Amino acid sequence: MYGSQDSLLQRLSATTRAGSITVQKVIDIDNILLASINKKYRVSQAGGKWILTRQYRDMKKLLTMVSKKGRLDPPYRIDIQMQTFIDIDNPVKCIQDSLQAAGIIDDDMNVLQLNVTKQPLPKGQPGRLVVYVGTV
């Protein structure tokens, strides 16, 4: 499931018409319980405003801290490989927000290609997350 950076470069080259491609492995973390977009917001007790949940904030902070630094120029291609029990699309927004907070991408609206691969795990079991970011 977790291919080398070379195999990712080959896949990117096969799907991109642009000249040169820059790819970086920016996150590689084991023993992680990924946050779900379903738990991104909660309603505050004081005022009824929507606020980010502690789980989402903590996940974003963790992913931002472990991300390898170095900004890439847009537009972007993101390749996410994960082992998890949650839905395949649930952690994607948190991952993109973390890449932006870490300064790797300037804005997630500049992501033109997104590839997400999931290896399912039993519910509650920690998994793995590997993220590559490339320019297209």
Per-residue pLDDT band for 56 (boundaries 50, 70, 90) equals confident
pTM assigned to the model:
0.79
- What does the pLDDT look like over 60-102, one tens digit per residue? 999 999 999 888 999 999 999 999 999 999 999 999 999 999 9
Q: Read out DSSP for 9-21?
A: HHHHHHH--SS--
Residue whose pair of structure tokens reads 């992913």 in the numeric block: 63
Please give the domain boundaries of the chain with CATH numbers for all domains.
5-135 (3.30.1330.70)
Inform me whether the pLDDT recorded for 136 exceeds 60: yes
DSSP run (H or E) holding 101: helix 92-101
